[in-house]
Amino acid sequence: MTNTDKIKLAQNIAVIAGIFCSAVALLLLLNFWQISKADPIESKALEVLVQRLKEDPNNDGLKAEIRSYDLLARKAYFNSQWQIQTGAVLLLMGAIVLAFALRVYYSAKAKIEAPEKVVENEIASRILAQKGIIIVGAVIFLLAFAASFASVNYLDKFNIDSAVAENEPQPADEGIQVIDVGTAKTDSIQILTTGDSAVSIISATDSAKTETAPATVTLNAQNIKSNHNSFRGPFGQGVSYHKNIPVKWDGAAGTNIAWKVAIPKHGFNSPVIWGDKIFISGADSQSREVYCFDRATGKLLWTGKADNIQGSPANPPKVTADTGLSAPTLATDGNHVYAIFATGDVIAFDMNGNRVWARNLGVPDNHYGHSSSLIVWDGKLFVQYDTNRGGKVLALKTDTGETAWEKTRSSKISWASPVLANVGGKYQLILTADPIVAGYDIKSGEELWQVKCMMGEVGPSVGFADGIVVAANEYAKMVAIDVNTKAILWEADEYLPEASSPLTYNGLVVIATSYGVLACYDLKTGEKYWEDDCGKTLYSSPTFADGKIFMMDNDGVMRIYEFGKEMKKIAENKLGEHAGTTPAFANGKIYIRGDKNLYCIGK
């Protein structure tokens, strides 16, 4: 190839690459403009349809139309996101090719003998043209890059501040005196470096917290079943072993309400119980807090603040109003209570409110906010940390907060929570995300098995009973997996949950959809036994207690059914305020977190 041929080839490639970059940049700008005009979260059309459904709640055709519209809107939005990300990569590749072609072009042209006579104006014109090409190309590239960045991070504009303002707690009533004894004063701080994070171990002295430390609790299956120490109760499975659970109450009238107390800060986490204490957490843009209440009286015993944690962000991440900064449910082992927030801060307090340790796991890259709840067993606190940066599960030592093990997962972002399952006499941790459902060894973090069967934005945790794992997600499917053989026993897609986790117990599976249907299936065959259209949004998870199914809707109405193959509704009870959390149980009592108050139901 002669030098002249090289020049022509490089020139042609540069022209093609320039046109390609310009076209991609223009498409990126148009795509960004289109997304900025169509809000993916707040759809006016969907609001109109929902309003029509409120006026005509029994219109099945309208329900189907809403589901179809919601599905199409989600697919269109995330398809646009994929197009923008792909366009950004193509633009970068085109720019590289353009730069290389121009480099070859000018290098080859420099080898040609200068013409006998070149007028001064022609030289000036060439220089001006070269500068013009460079300037125009740089402007187009910068505009396209800015549009790509703005589009990919479109959901960052949503935050929790407005939602928190709407949920300011009201003063406690019914004679309950709310007392905040304050946080511990520290006299020493020791930093233990563990990889990229640090653990703050703080020994505390405070005149308001001089209670004698209780005897160390050895965690076992029996005392877990005697309490309610994690999201959905013992081992995270949605099954309570307590008896004499009330089935009639009225929160607004005070009927069968033992006490209710205002919650200082808003949150979507559910109550956990150990002995005579009940724990929840709350947060806003100013602070994150853990609350301990007396289970018998509702008195606020102490407030623990999650502050002064090394690595914690100066400003909280952007989160959506329906997730917030305090969505994950706490966990307790009777020695400590553990909390995690959307900032990535994990903190442990002893049962008297003294801070034991705290660390930051890194701010989770999550466009809604972190919501995976904690679970504790075998001296380890398990954290499912699946974010946009990739999947990960950690085990932290409960006494120090140091990392016992960490496992990278072949999964995408997930909002589900870990579940503990006894398989062949050994407990394993079971997680679900897109695209895998997988089990992990609790001692080493080794992945024991995985089945690729999920997709989408996975929020529901798995159900487990009789050696069978049930995983489900809206716009995907419900799958029953034999843990021992890793075989898929059956699949179904008629009713699928968006946020609610499946209840599996004694041969049955119960699921709740976001559009208000509660359905019951056979655990081993997938045969559907019954369904009940509640007509209300269902984000809470169905739970089993005292031979019954308890299902709370987002309006705060608890529906109670007999647990069985036939649909028998026992009662509907109004809390008197919105509540999308999952209840906690103790003998003769139910504890429910509403938007503003914590309730104890029972005599």
HSE-CB at 143 with a 13 A cutoff on CA atoms is 18
281 lies in some domain: yes
Examine the domain organization and report whether 524 and 387 are in the same domain: yes
143 lies in some domain: yes
pLDDT at residue 185 above 50?
no
pLDDT at residue 174 above 80?
no
Asked if 520 contacts 536 with a C-beta cutoff of 8 angstroms, the reply is no
Confidence of residue 234 (pLDDT cuts 50, 70, 90): very high
For the record, the structure tokens of 98 come out as 């353009």
Cα–Cα nearest to 416, from 387, 378, 381: 387
164 lies in some domain: no
Q: What is the pLDDT of residue 461?
A: 98
Residue type, 86: T
Following DSSP, what letter does each residue of 407-472 receive, concatenated?
Answer: EEES---B----EEEEETTEEEEEEE-SSEEEEEETTT--EEEEEE---SSB-PPPEEETTEEEEE
Q: What is the pLDDT of residue 23?
A: 87
Examine the domain organization and report whether 103 and 227 are in the same domain: no
Examine the domain organization and report whether 129 and 211 are in the same domain: no
Q: How far is CA 49 from CA 53, 321, 513, 532, 555, in A?
A: 6, 21, 18, 22, 19
For the record, the structure tokens of 307 come out as 């502050």
Q: Which residues pair with 281 in a beta bridge?
A: 290
Examine the domain organization and report whether 431 and 476 are in the same domain: yes
Examine the domain organization and report whether 91 and 214 are in the same domain: no
Q: What is the pLDDT of residue 192?
A: 42
165 lies in some domain: no
Q: What is the pLDDT of residue 52?
A: 79
261 lies in some domain: yes
Q: What is the pLDDT of residue 280?
A: 98
Average pLDDT of every residue of the chain: 85
HSE-CB at 181 with a 13 A cutoff on CA atoms is 20
What SS3 state is found at 15? helix
Examine the domain organization and report whether 80 and 220 are in the same domain: no
Q: Which residues pair with 580 in a beta bridge?
A: none
CB-based contacts of 450: which residues, under 8 Å, 6+ apart?
Answer: 410, 436, 437, 438, 439
Asked if 602 contacts 256 with a C-beta cutoff of 8 angstroms, the reply is yes
299 lies in some domain: yes
pLDDT at residue 210 above 50?
no
pLDDT at residue 28 above 90?
no
Examine the domain organization and report whether 197 and 97 are in the same domain: no
Examine the domain organization and report whether 191 and 65 are in the same domain: no
Locate tokens 């007028």: which residue? Answer: 119
Question: Which tens digit of pLDDT belongs to each residue from 33-48?
Answer: 776 666 555 566 777 7
Q: Which long-range contacts (CB under 8 A, 24 or more apart) does 68-75 make?
A: 69/43, 69/45, 70/46, 71/475, 73/40, 73/43, 73/46, 74/475
Where among 138, 157, 176 does a domain terminate? 157
CA 452 from chain center: how many Å?
A: 20
For the record, the structure tokens of 284 come out as 């806003």
Examine the domain organization and report whether 204 and 142 are in the same domain: no
* Cα(400)–Cα(36) distance, integer angstroms: 46
Lowest average pLDDT, out of 69-78, 231-240, 292-301, goes to 69-78
Examine the domain organization and report whether 325 and 375 are in the same domain: yes
Question: Which tens digit of pLDDT belongs to each residue from 265-315?
Answer: 999 999 999 999 999 999 999 999 999 999 999 999 999 999 999 999 999
Where among 113, 141, 157 does a domain terminate? 157
pLDDT at residue 193 above 70?
no
pLDDT at residue 108 above 90?
no
What SS3 state is found at 394? strand
Angle at Cα 269 formed by Cα 268 and Cα 272, nearest 5°? 155
CATH of the domain at 203: 2.130.10.10
Residue type, 517: V
Q: Is 8 exposed, middle or buried (0-12, 13-18, 19+ CB in 10 A)?
A: middle
pLDDT at residue 86 above 50?
yes
For the record, the structure tokens of 302 come out as 């102490």
For the record, the structure tokens of 168 come out as 């300011």
Examine the domain organization and report whether 191 and 85 are in the same domain: no
Q: What is the pLDDT of residue 89?
A: 84
Examine the domain organization and report whether 195 and 147 are in the same domain: no
Q: What is the pLDDT of residue 267?
A: 97
174 lies in some domain: no
For the record, the structure tokens of 455 come out as 């997709």
Q: Is 175 exposed, middle or buried (0-12, 13-18, 19+ CB in 10 A)?
A: exposed
Question: Which tens digit of pLDDT belongs to each residue from 494-520?
Answer: 999 999 999 999 999 999 999 999 999
205/17: higher pLDDT: 17
How many structural domains compose the chain? 2
Following DSSP, what letter does each residue of 499-542 receive, concatenated?
Answer: SPPPEEETTEEEEE-TTSEEEEEETTT--EEEEEE--S---SPP
* Cα(458)–Cα(452) distance, integer angstroms: 13
76 lies in some domain: yes
Number of neighbouring beta carbons within 10 Å of residue 174: 12
Q: Is 520 exposed, middle or buried (0-12, 13-18, 19+ CB in 10 A)?
A: buried
Q: Which domain holds residue 92?
A: 3-157
* Cα(479)–Cα(437) distance, integer angstroms: 10
Top-ranked range on mean pLDDT: pick from 17-31, 137-151, 237-251: 237-251
534/126: higher pLDDT: 534
Question: Which tens digit of pLDDT belongs to each residue from 53-62?
Answer: 777 777 767 7
Number of neighbouring beta carbons within 10 Å of residue 248: 12
Question: Which tens digit of pLDDT belongs to each residue from 569-583?
Answer: 999 999 999 999 999
61/186: higher pLDDT: 61
Cis before 435? omega within 30: yes
Q: What is the pLDDT of residue 57?
A: 73
Q: What is the pLDDT of residue 45?
A: 72
Question: Which tens digit of pLDDT belongs to each residue from 347-383?
Answer: 999 999 999 999 999 999 999 999 999 999 999 999 9
65/258: higher pLDDT: 258
Q: What is the pLDDT of residue 207?
A: 31
Confidence of residue 149 (pLDDT cuts 50, 70, 90): low
Residue 472: φ, ψ to 5°? -155, 150
Sheet containing strand 277-283, strands side by side: 272-274, 277-283, 288-294, 300-305
Lowest average pLDDT, out of 87-96, 406-415, 501-510, goes to 87-96
